[in-house]
């Protein structure tokens, strides 16, 4: 309650909230949600049509932990996505290939489910290029647990999170290439599990900053849909040299499947921004954003960002 009392009703969070943008309802804005939480009755659409993007918390001048409260409140609705989650849980539980001793002292590359399941060839080609640069272990088919915690399935989330922490905590370095996984590890895990600082980094910023990789197409021809979970994590904005859209795509994990009309409305500016940008290629780095971009643009048109990276030496040779 004390943290909610910090809300000064200034409205800054309304300017960045995609669900407020889509509904124009105060009850579906961060400020409105804070007011409802204070009264103890946040429920229904006002609770569920939040995309859990984290934008409100990132901009709040009074550090009201709106996202944190909204995530915690989801447990009241845990049955909401049950049929879909049951399938997902079954899939996740069949995929536990690693032990902590396997990852100790290694550099881990965590590619995320979209890259490894939807784009296996691009993922393999990317790993092949990295092989020549430094030793690493690719972590595939491991879920960060975001779909579970976002659906209020806290017990199942904690089970997965503990296993992941045991694996990732042993590594020397973990480079993460999915924005939502990165957000989950860095922002959500500490909310649930006390832990040492994990050696986790945004994989793209690491490779670009170290000068190991460059873009293989001119920056002016590549349009990057910056995932909300990357934009609101405080990562150095390395994407600013590309063409990009600084807003939400409307998917928000499972939100885009449940609230299709709102998701379409949220995505309108993104679609316009890409079509008027003059860019030829469209890429993103978040499993949820891939789903939304696939509904907006022709199949096969959207590509993972890692498909546009080349080792710097190769780039120089080609140049």
Chain residues that interact with ligand SF4, rule: CB under 6 A: 7-13, 16-19, 30-31, 33-34, 50-56, 60, 62, 64, 66-67, 70
Query: Are 216 and 310 in contact, with CB atoms under 8 Å apart?
Result: yes
* Cβ-based nearer residue to ligand SF4, 153 or 262: 262
Least distance to ligand SF4 from the beta carbon of 115, Å?
24
* Cβ-based nearer residue to ligand SF4, 38 or 93: 38
Task: Supply angle C-alpha 92, 98, 102, rounded to 5.
Answer: 160
3-state secondary structure of 188: helix
Least distance to ligand SF4 from the beta carbon of 129, Å?
35
Least distance to ligand SF4 from the beta carbon of 49, Å?
8
Least distance to ligand SF4 from the beta carbon of 9, Å?
5
Phi, psi at 245, each rounded to 5°: -115, 120
* Cβ-based nearer residue to ligand SF4, 9 or 96: 9
The continuous run of DSSP H or E covering 147 comes out as helix 146-150
Q: Which two tokens stand for residue 12?
A: 């800054």
The continuous run of DSSP H or E covering 113 comes out as helix 113-113
Least distance to ligand SF4 from the beta carbon of 32, Å?
9
* Cβ-based nearer residue to ligand SF4, 4 or 117: 4
Least distance to ligand SF4 from the beta carbon of 276, Å?
25
Query: Are 129 and 95 in contact, with CB atoms under 8 Å apart?
Result: no
Query: Are 172 and 199 in contact, with CB atoms under 8 Å apart?
Result: yes
Least distance to ligand SF4 from the beta carbon of 265, Å?
13
Give dist(CA 47, CA 41) in Å, integer.
10
Query: Are 312 and 214 in contact, with CB atoms under 8 Å apart?
Result: yes
Least distance to ligand SF4 from the beta carbon of 10, Å?
4
Give dist(CA 120, CA 101) in Å, integer.
26
Q: Which residues contact 67 (CB under 8 A, 6 or more apart)?
A: 52, 53, 54, 56, 57
Hey, what long-range contacts does 204-211 have (CB within 8 A, 24 or more apart)? 204/177, 204/238, 204/285, 204/305, 204/306, 204/309, 205/235, 205/236, 205/238, 206/175, 207/175, 207/309, 208/238, 209/236, 209/238, 211/312
């Amino acid at each position: 309650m004390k943290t909610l009392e910090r809300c000064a009703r200034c409205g800054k969070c309304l300017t960045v909230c995609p669900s407020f943008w889509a509904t124009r309802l105060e009850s579906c804005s961060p400020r409105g949600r804070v007011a409802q939480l204070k009264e103890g009755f946040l429920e229904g659409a006002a609770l569920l049509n939040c995309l859990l993007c984290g934008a409100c918390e990132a901009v709040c001048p009074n550090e009201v932990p709106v996202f944190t409260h909204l995530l915690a409140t989801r447990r009241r609705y845990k049955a909401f996505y049950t049929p879909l989650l049951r399938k997902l849980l079954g899939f996740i539980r069949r995929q536990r290939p690693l032990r902590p001793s396997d990852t100790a002292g290694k550099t881990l590359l965590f590619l995320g489910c979209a890259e490894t399941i939807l784009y296996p060839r691009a993922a393999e080609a990317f790993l092949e290029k990295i092989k020549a640069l430094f030793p690493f272990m690719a972590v595939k088919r491991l879920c960060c647990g975001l779909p579970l915690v976002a659906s209020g399935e806290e017990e199942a989330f904690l089970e997965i999170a503990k296993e992941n922490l045991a694996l990732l905590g042993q590594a020397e370095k973990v480079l993460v290439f999915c924005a939502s996984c990165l957000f989950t590890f860095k922002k959500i895990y500490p909310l649930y599990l006390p832990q040492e600082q994990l050696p986790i980094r945004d994989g793209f910023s690491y490779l670009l900053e170290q000068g190991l990789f460059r873009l293989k197409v001119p920056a002016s021809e590549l349009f990057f849909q910056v995932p909300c979970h990357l934009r609101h994590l405080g990562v150095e904005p390395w994407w600013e040299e590309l063409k990009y859209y600084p807003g939400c795509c409307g998917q928000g994990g499972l939100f885009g499947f449940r609230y299709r009309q709102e998701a379409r409305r949220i995505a309108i500016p993104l679609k316009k921004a890409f079509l008027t940008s003059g860019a030829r290629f469209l890429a993103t780095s978040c499993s949820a954003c891939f789903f939304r971009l696939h509904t907006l643009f022709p199949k096969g048109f959207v590509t993972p960002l890692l498909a546009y990276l080349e080792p710097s030496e190769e780039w120089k040779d080609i140049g």
